[in-house]
A and B are shown apart, each in its own frame.
Chain A
Amino acid sequence: MMSLPAKFAEICAGIESLSAMGRNPFDIRFEKILSPTVAVLDGRPILLLGTNNYLGLTFDAACVAESAKALQELGTGTTGSRIANGTYADHALLERRMAQFYGKRSAMIFTTGYQANLGLISTLAGRNDHLLIDADSHASIYDASRLGAAQVIRFRHNDPEDLGRRLRRLAGQPGDRIIVTEGIYSMLGDTAPLREIVAVKREAGACLIVDEAHSLGILGEHGRGLCEAAGVEADVDFVVGTFSKSLGAIGGFAASDLPGFDLLRIVCRPYMFTASLPPAVIASVTASLDRIRTDKSLGKRVLARSRRLHFGLARSGFQVGPEPNPIVAVKMPERETAVRFWNRLVDEGLYVNLALPPATPGSLSLIRSSVSSAHTEAQIDQAISIMTAVGSELRVLDRRAVATALPGA
């Protein structure tokens, strides 16, 4: 008989060594979720600072009410795919709203953000084409590149020069060049140099996909992400993203001005061969999108809270990521300290993410937090004080580094 532990022996050993130091970080079970920022774990309240709930909309009254209404009126699920089993009016309406939001001609909804990348990228990247992906791309982009038929080339993280070199090496070869980058990168919270990437893209006549999963509703005056903030929306051929973070539910999307975009619906397998989102999800996402459009304070607040956490931790002597975005990662000296640190934070009532190689860039061991506009200043200060106390206990603070970490300091 097949032995799963033998098949995944290395993974099992890794989990055993992690669990031996405390909790299993892959199996945290909240008994209750009290709000976007507080849950119950082991019978005690715990501050949530690692759930990607950037705008805190999971408990938004209007979103919950719309979702409940759709549940009552349209049932629990669609029980099938759009292509084989029909489209509900509300799915089509949300697609129009998404297209309007981005100022693009068309938009398409996927059942998860993972599937949006998997579907869009693998379908565009045909035989003889060339897919150029950032080295620090999300797993969904790597998986998409395996599903597609194109030749896949990685370029150095956030390095437009390296991208340009790799495009020039392709000179004379047939096929489309498709570049994939992300707005905010999920581990260190750094943004892509989009203006420079767009310049390289133009020179090469390539097509550009930008994944705004972590920047939707956060960057840009209207919350349209890094493409808006960098002023390059017209040069971005496809925007992809997720409903599971800023919009507080689940699902993915792609938006584009490309003529014939709707053809993708009948050639994109991760769209065709899966059930569409339940009506209750479509309803809450439609309401969330409305909130983002009408309430600009959400995005401003999450950035203000992010700066408070980022610079607060830097002031304590933590080594933080390069930019004060809602993903705030602190670098740990090595894996074992990261695991101890994370366990101690959970003991103290603070939930963040433990991020270890190979899921991290540069083989870094990280403690990753994600800030929400629902966090109060007091909650952010509480998180800083817990992390500082544990950092001091485990001797990971470098007070000498403080001066260089702070702007104008």
Chain B
Amino acid sequence: MTDNGRDIEAEILQILTARLPAGVRLSAETRIVQGLGLDSVAILDFIMDLEERFDISIPLDRIAEVQTIGELSRAIETLMGAT
């Protein structure tokens, strides 16, 4: 949760749920590459939706470091705090 009370993780899960087939169960521990069944380009496109939603740019090296939804959420929080 950010300082202004925004629940980033919940927003990510909501965006992902809309993109994935119904019934895919997601949590903070879900691994992005292995757990979503998306190819590398589809993952980058999903990240782009997140960038738009949170008005940030996530550099490619940061994306490469992130493995789970929880980690992605924390990376976004950090980037939002930096601006």
Contact = CB atoms under 8 A, between A and B. Distances in A.
**Interface SS of A by simple majority:** mixed
B39 A145 contact: no
A207 interface: no
Interface string B12-27: 0000000000000000
Given A169-B56, A169-B83, A357 B61 contact: no
A122 to B, nearest CB: 13
Given A135-B45, A135-B48, A169 B57 contact: yes
A280 to B, nearest CB: 38
A14 to B, nearest CB: 11
Interface string A138-164: 000000011000011110100000000
Interface in A152-184: 152-154, 156, 165-166, 169-170
Contacts of B44: 135, 154
A357 B57 contact: no
Interface string B44-83: 1100100000011111110000000000000000000001
A358 interface: yes
A358 B42 contact: yes
A151 B65 CA distance: 13
A363 B42 CA distance: 7
B41 A169 contact: no
A152 B59 contact: yes
B59 A358 contact: no
A146 B56 CA distance: 21
Contact of B60 (A152, A170, A360, A363): A152
Given A135-B48, A154-B48, A363 B41 contact: yes
A166 B61 CA distance: 16
Interface residues of B, number: 15
B4 interface: no
A361 interface: yes
A153 B59 contact: yes
Interface size class of A (residues with CB under 8 A): 10 to 19
B59 A151 contact: yes
A358 B39 contact: yes
A357 B41 contact: yes
Interface in A356-387: 357-358, 360-363
Contacts of A156: 48
Contact of A358 (B40, B56, B61, B83): B40
Contacts of B61: 151-152
B20 to A, nearest CB: 13
Contacts of B41: 357-358, 360-361, 363
A79 B31 CA distance: 48
Given A135-B44, A169-B55, A154 B39 contact: no
Contacts of B45: 135, 362
Contacts of A169: 55-57, 83
A358 B42 CA distance: 8
Interface in A203-232: none
A357 B39 contact: yes
Nearest to B59: A151
Nearest to B64: A146
B57 A166 contact: yes
Nearest to A170: B57
A145 B57 contact: no
Contacts of A146: 60
Nearest to B83: A169
12 contacts: A135-B45, A146-B60, A151-B59, A152-B59, A153-B60, A156-B48, A165-B55, A166-B57, A169-B56, A357-B42, A363-B39, A363-B41
Given A145-B60, A169-B55, 5 more contacts: A151-B59, A152-B61, A357-B41, A358-B40, A361-B41
